[in-house]
Every structure is written in structure tokens, then in C-alpha cells.
Chain A
């Protein structure tokens, strides 16, 4: 197993948890280390409790891991919540003036900093944070110059005096640790790699830009708002029209309007906003104008827990909008995949002229990951499908021509002319219509026409299935247990399998990225060979397990579910697998030990 190191920083919102987090992240990434960061926070601007975990190491770090190596509690509350979870070998750096440690487990090093002695706290309100960063870096075996460089950048705008003061404070912490605390036995390694650090929201926004999105609109809703923020900040450089709209109903309709004019249009929201978009998705399917909608799931139902993660919207996505229509739904597997998936789903949506739905969640949207910069490819393949954008030959003054927007074809795809093209004038309608777009719904509803149009649209499903790859099994074919997951749980299941394999239980993994189309046959083929199958998902009712059963009749041997708002940690899955393999239960709901 690869070596990783996790720093946990806890405090109240507004107390400056983010800044030390950013500084550590920068220093780790500049050492050529991978990292994965997850911030457990609450829906509060000031106060409450937030806990940021940054886990780093020379290899890919796919999830937040199981433990904290270095705890930095910025207040008493954080100390009380987290110290008891530290195990032998861990350390805790804290402000000795304001925080009382309590009694840690054996082998945990307490590192009190005499903050008022080391820094002038009347001048520097966040001196304790800076001192702790300095002390922590020494204990990780990192030279002070790395911190000095980052602090210079961080405070550059505030002038030389502020830079000097912060470097001085950090130095005091660094030197104090050298004299008083025991460093971790293994210094953090260094590599020649350089990674980009980004959130899933930034990745999806950038993926949109790479896909050629020209129109993005949204209504702010956690945890999707980061997509809007990136889009808004980079709109002018990227040539994207970005609008904030009055509600999500307006969002989806505006996006479809832009898409209908012929540009690639995208929007993002969370479950509540997605619910409002439902009718619009039906329109996208009926008028056959492609649009891409991202749903960053949070814990529901209703307003739910706005700052917590869940995979609870699958059935909402499957059933969004009334009637039958072709759609694609994909769940990105990690933050790098958040980028990669967007151009892929645009190509499918464009080719098949239907809505493309991205099912992300807070864990990816707001988590951060190190990604190889080359993977952020701004020249992905682009396929706009059968799009008619010019017609030089047609007469300038349009008359009722022969163009059939909804021409019945074997593939179900009808060449799509965009407004402004001479000779292709037509009206699209959300009412059922004939090949030329004329309504059949009002005057002469026509069962033959209706059936033909329904079948034309639904024929696209076969094409979509062929255009989307089937999932593949990861790990040894003949394993003791097969863990089935979808979307964001890829990393944590991967690590769980690794731990299980090291403990003598062979495990493999089937991770689903394309939810619709599901490729039921291919999945059954894989699962038929499985000795013990367990579905792992972040929701109460086993939404994916139920979906899998409805599509394939496959019933797994067990379930591991979590619906407390926090993501899985590897040990949750490992312990659950073990109890299920000895027949103790077939439904495990692991307890989240960290109170955040």
C-alpha cells in the first residue's frame, strides 16, 4: 500500500480553516505530491464547525482515507471532537493559550504552541494558524523555503510588511517545533511531477469550455454554485455567455433556447433545482434540442442538508419529466473525470438530439484533487451530429419548403436546421407533431402518426447504447467479493479493495459511469461470475441496487449504504464487507465516527 499523510484542520467557519488548507495544498502539490481534499462544513457563514482533510502522497490519492496524521484544531470544539479519534503515531498542534487538549490515545503526540509568546497576537489575529503551519511543516520534514515562497504569494497584495510579518511568525512556529516536537518518522517525499489542483465544479466548468459550451446559465444552489463561479470569472476569456437566471425553470428554458439557436448550452444545479427543470427536460427531448444539465447531489429530501453529500437523486434523474423519451445519464467517477465526461456527454447529446444529464455529487463538486495537467485536454473530440447550419443554395425568401425537421429515419435522428438558415423554416413544438413539425395534438390527433413519432424518437436509444462503452470489471476476475458502485465512490471502493486484498480477502470492483444506457447484458455477464456481490452507495434505499434489479433482475448478495451526509471512508466498507462475508448481515450502514 502506498504511503499517505493526512492533515486535518478544524475550526469555526470564518476562523480561517481555508487558508492553511490552501497553503498545505500548494506546498504538497509543488513537491510533486498528489492530494485529495474534503471539507466537511455546515450551511453557515460564520461559526459552526468545519473540518478540512487534506491527504497527500506520491501516488494517486483517491479519497479522504481513514485517519488523520496531523490534527490542527483551531478552537476547543475541534479539539474535543477530533483528538479522541487520533491513533498512535499521530500528532496534534494547538494553541496552548486557548485550547485544552484532553487525553489522547497512547502514542499521540501533543504539540502545544505558546502562541502569545511566539507572536504578537494583538497585531496578527490569525497568528495561531500561521504558527501551526510552520510547526506542522517542520514535523513533516519539509524545508522552510517552500512555505516562505507560498506565503510571499499569499500576502503579496498586502505589501512587504505583511509578507515579512507572516514569514516571521511561520518561522517562529517552524523553529519552535524543531526545538520541542518530534518530527514524523518519514519526511514527506518529493517528486518531479507537477499537478493541477481543482474541484469537481471547476473541472466540470472547464470541461464545458473544452466541449465548446457557448452558453451557461444557473441559479445559485449548493453544491453546484462553483460551476457558475468558474464560468462567470472566465466567461470573457473563454467566449462564453454566462447568465444568472431568476429560477431553475428559467435556467433550463434559457439553456434550451440557446441550444436551439445552435450553440452548446449547459447548466448546473442540485436536486431541488433539478426538480424544477423537469418539465424543461421533456421539452428538450420532444423538440429534439440537446442540452446538458448537471445535478450536483446533496443530502435530501427537500432542502435537506445543503452542505452534505449523497447519491440520492438517481431515481429523480431516471424519472425526470413525464412520458417516455431518450436521455443519457452519466455519473463522473472522480474529479478528473468531471472534466473528461462533459465533452463526451455533449457529443452524445448532440448526435442523438436529446438531454444529457450529469449526476455528480457534493463529494466531487466541492472536493479537490490533484490531476495531471495533460488530462485537462482542451482539444477533445467534438461531434455535433447532423446539424444544418448553412444553405447557400436555397432561396433567400423562405416559402413553405420541403424540409422535415422530424423526418422519420432508421436511426431516429433527423437532421437539425438551426434558425437563420434559409430554406429550412419550420416550427418545433412540445405538442406531438408530424415530420414537418405541424401539430397532431389539436385538431386531428392521429394514432398512426403518434406511434410513428414515438418510435422514431425512441429508436435513438439503440444508437445511444452503441455509442456508450459498457462498464468493465476492475481487479481479479475470480474474487471473493465484488463491490458494485457508481459515480463518486470509485476511489474509496478502490482503496477498500486494496485493503481487503492485503488482508487476504480478494476483492474486485464494478464501477458504473454510464447509468443510462446501463448495458444490463454486459453487467450481468460480469456479475454472473461473481462469488459474492455487494452494492455500495451513498443513499438510504439502495437506489442503484433497485435500478439494477429493475433493468437486469439481478439481486446482489448485500448492500453497504450510508446516508448521514458524509462520504464513505475505506474502513467503513472494509468492515462491512467482512461482516457480510461471515454472514452477519446483508445490509451494513456504517457509522460515521467524526462528528462534523
Chain B
């Protein structure tokens, strides 16, 4: 997000707090994600008014209200589409999109895939708890096979999607996974994701302490292994990143799977934006252009 980023001075954690406190359940993984995003913004010293946090609907989508940045709490599944329009109208803004697995991979799956192939310059943080929380516990697109929920009381018979493989296949230029219980690691990935020029996807394991009794902190803690600790991991290699994305079980990799910076961002690829953000342009069509539009019809 190199374009238009201005540095502020001495932002502190107090500057990042929104008008209300989170109403998530005590112990929710989303608290850790909120803290990490706030820390990352402080460390990057981006002025709050130049940041827009955009979400859909769901527990984690209450996120923008807890931030002291411009915010949009939009429709279920539509945050990425809204964010794309906003970024293209003012590419000087830093855009964060936050939401859950149902919001992003279920109802918003179409926009998820297309935003990645477009390489829209934003950071998309999914708080993935493998369950629908706000609707009181139904199966999500990332729920494991066999998981019992209110909507599938005899166990899920559908295979979950793999967000990391999907992101890689769809052409995301920054693909990472983090765990809400690993604050420093998570904060670092958020910072990298914000600074990455293009679409940054960060899937965060964010346990639901109320409705998901399968994928708990206790379940994740021994399993997550940082890719950064694996000296053989090369995040510029798409093929090995894809292989790593398929690992699941006793060892689950977290960290940066893949990054490339040689793909133009959507706003960078469109010459209409060469003269700066649209929001700063005059409304009138240049007189000679207007004349030519009419003459074409004569």
C-alpha cells in the first residue's frame, strides 16, 4: 500500500480505540486480532483518518466499530466489493477488510475469488473460527467433516474449503495464515499485509469459545508451526506454497505462504488513475472531450 501512505506521529493504543468496546464473548479469538491490527497500525504510524476498515456481517464483522479509523459495516459477504469500489475511488486510503469465514468464504465467496484475481490493494483479514457464531452455531465453509452443529446435528458431510489453496489458485499476491494466540507473529503478518502492494489475504485461526468445541485454543496450540521457522520455506515459490497449503493435521503451518510484488495492483494498472485519486478530480468532463463525444454522434 505504498501509494498515498502518510506517516503520523506518535500514535498510541489509545488513539486506536473505537467509540465502543467489543461485545464479543469473553475469550473470543477476535480480541487478539483486534489488538494485533491496532498494534500494526501504530507501528506503521498511518494516520487513522487515512485508514478505512470495512466488514460484512457476523461476530467478527463488528470489528470496524471497535477501531478508531473510518469504518464501514456493510452487508453479509459484500465487504470486498465495497472495499474495491472505495479503493478505486480514493486509492490514497489504506483499506482493511475484516470478517469471518462464513462471510468471506460462504456468502461472499464470489467476491473473494474475484478480488484476488484483480489484485485490489488491500489487506483482507478473515477471523476463521470454522463456525457460524452470530447465528448461534451452524456449520461454516471451513467446518471439518464430521463436526456436529445445530444445522448438521449428525455431523458435517461436506468437505471444507481450503482458504489458503483457494487464495493461491485465485492469484492472491500475498497469502498468509496466523493464529490469534500468537500475537507477535500475527501483528507482523498484518504489518506485512498492509505494506504489500496488492491483495493481501490473511486467514487467522480465531477460536470461537462458545460454539466450536472442536477447534479450540488447546487444539490449535500444539499444532500450529511457523513457516518462518522452516529455513527451507521459500515464500516466492508458488508451487511449494501450494504444497504447504495442503498440510493439515498434527502440524498446521502458519505464516507467510506466498508473496509476489511484480503484479500491478488494480488501481496501478488503470491509466484513468494516473493523475491521482478520482476523489480529488473536478466533476466536469473537459470541454474538448465533451465536444468530441457529441460530434461522434453527428
Nearest B residue to A263 by beta-carbon distance? B89
Q: Report the minimal beta-carbon distance from B250 to chain A, rounded to whole angstroms.
A: 38
Inter-subunit contact B281/A419 (CB<8 Å): no
Inter-subunit contact A258/B86 (CB<8 Å): yes
Inter-subunit contact B285/A238 (CB<8 Å): yes
* Known contacts A256-B82, A262-B279; A246/B110 CB under 8 A: yes
A514 — which chain B residues lie within 8 A by C-beta? none
Inter-subunit contact A427/B72 (CB<8 Å): yes
Inter-subunit contact B75/A279 (CB<8 Å): yes
* Known contacts A209-B293, A239-B281; A424/B83 CB under 8 A: no
Our pick among B47, B92, B283, B285 for the contact of A398 (Cβ within 8 Å) is B47
Inter-subunit contact A261/B85 (CB<8 Å): yes
8 A–B pairs (Cβ distance < 8 Å), ordered by A: A209-B290, A211-B283, A238-B285, A254-B85, A257-B81, A283-B74, A382-B283, A429-B72
Q: Report the minimal beta-carbon distance from B121 to chain A, rounded to whole angstroms.
A: 14
A-B contact count (CB 8 A): 234
Inter-subunit contact A258/B85 (CB<8 Å): yes
CB-based closest 4 A-B pairs:
A257-B85, A212-B283, A427-B71, A253-B81
A265 — which chain B residues lie within 8 A by C-beta? 85, 89
CA distance A246 to B72 in the complex (A): 22
* Partner-contacting stretch, out of B152-160, B241-249, B270-278: B270-278
Q: In this assembly, does A490 line the interface, its C-beta being within 8 Å of a C-beta of chain B?
A: no
* Known contacts A378-B290, A397-B47, A427-B72; A254/B19 CB under 8 A: no
Inter-subunit contact B23/A443 (CB<8 Å): yes
Q: Report the minimal beta-carbon distance from B18 to chain A, rounded to whole angstroms.
A: 7
Q: In this assembly, does A255 line the interface, its C-beta being within 8 Å of a C-beta of chain B?
A: yes
Q: Report the minimal beta-carbon distance from B142 to chain A, rounded to whole angstroms.
A: 22
Binary A-proximity of B1-23 (CB < 8 A = 1, otherwise 0): 00000001111001101111001
Q: In this assembly, does A103 line the interface, its C-beta being within 8 Å of a C-beta of chain B?
A: no
Inter-subunit contact B88/A258 (CB<8 Å): yes
Our pick among A197, A399, A428 for the contact of B68 (Cβ within 8 Å) is A399
Q: In this assembly, does B135 line the interface, its C-beta being within 8 Å of a C-beta of chain A?
A: no
B20 — which chain A residues lie within 8 A by C-beta? 438-439
Q: Report the minimal beta-carbon distance from B72 to chain A, rounded to whole angstroms.
A: 5
* Known contacts A256-B85, A379-B284; A398/B49 CB under 8 A: yes
A196 — which chain B residues lie within 8 A by C-beta? 294, 297-298
Q: Report the minimal beta-carbon distance from A429 to chain B, rounded to whole angstroms.
A: 4
CA distance A420 to B244 in the complex (A): 39
Given contacts A238-B289, A373-B297, A419-B93, 7 further A-B contacts (CB under 8 A): A214-B89, A254-B85, A259-B89, A379-B284, A400-B17, A430-B57, A431-B73
CA distance A247 to B81 in the complex (A): 10
Give the total of B residues in contact with A, Cβ under 8 Å: 68
CA distance A235 to B74 in the complex (A): 28
Nearest A residue to B271 by beta-carbon distance? A236
A439 — which chain B residues lie within 8 A by C-beta? 20, 62, 65, 73
Inter-subunit contact B89/A198 (CB<8 Å): no
Inter-subunit contact A420/B93 (CB<8 Å): yes
A407 — which chain B residues lie within 8 A by C-beta? none
Nearest A residue to B8 by beta-carbon distance? A397
Q: In this assembly, does B119 line the interface, its C-beta being within 8 Å of a C-beta of chain A?
A: no
Q: Which chain A residues in 256-300 approach chain B with CB under 8 Å?
A: 256-265, 279-280, 283, 287
B interface residues with partner A (beta carbon < 8 Å): 8-11, 14-15, 17-20, 23, 47-50, 52-54, 57, 62, 64-65, 67-75, 78, 81-90, 92-93, 110-111, 113-114, 270-273, 275, 278-279, 281, 283-287, 289-290, 292-294, 297-298
Nearest B residue to A436 by beta-carbon distance? B19
A257 — which chain B residues lie within 8 A by C-beta? 54, 72, 81-87, 89
B85 — which chain A residues lie within 8 A by C-beta? 215, 217, 253-261, 265
Q: In this assembly, does A241 line the interface, its C-beta being within 8 Å of a C-beta of chain B?
A: yes
Inter-subunit contact B293/A250 (CB<8 Å): no
Q: Which chain A residues in 221-267 approach chain B with CB under 8 Å?
A: 234-243, 245-247, 249-250, 253-265
CA distance A196 to B281 in the complex (A): 29
A376 — which chain B residues lie within 8 A by C-beta? 293-294
B15 — which chain A residues lie within 8 A by C-beta? 397-399
B88 — which chain A residues lie within 8 A by C-beta? 215, 241, 243, 254, 258
Nearest B residue to A384 by beta-carbon distance? B283
Q: Which chain A residues in 422-451 approach chain B with CB under 8 Å?
A: 422-431, 436-439, 442-443
A236 — which chain B residues lie within 8 A by C-beta? 271-272
CA distance A194 to B294 in the complex (A): 12
Nearest A residue to B48 by beta-carbon distance? A398
Q: Report the minimal beta-carbon distance from A446 to chain B, rounded to whole angstroms.
A: 14
Our pick among B83, B270, B285 for the contact of A209 (Cβ within 8 Å) is B285
CA distance A379 to B53 in the complex (A): 36
CA distance A438 to B19 in the complex (A): 7
Inter-subunit contact A430/B75 (CB<8 Å): yes
A492 — which chain B residues lie within 8 A by C-beta? none
Inter-subunit contact B283/A241 (CB<8 Å): no
CA distance A418 to B70 in the complex (A): 9
Our pick among A247, A373, A389, A423 for the contact of B49 (Cβ within 8 Å) is A423
CA distance A311 to B48 in the complex (A): 48
Binary B-proximity of A46-78 (CB < 8 A = 1, otherwise 0): 000000000000000000000000000000000
CA distance A261 to B278 in the complex (A): 9
CA distance A215 to B67 in the complex (A): 28
Q: Report the minimal beta-carbon distance from B75 to chain A, rounded to whole angstroms.
A: 5
CA distance A202 to B298 in the complex (A): 13
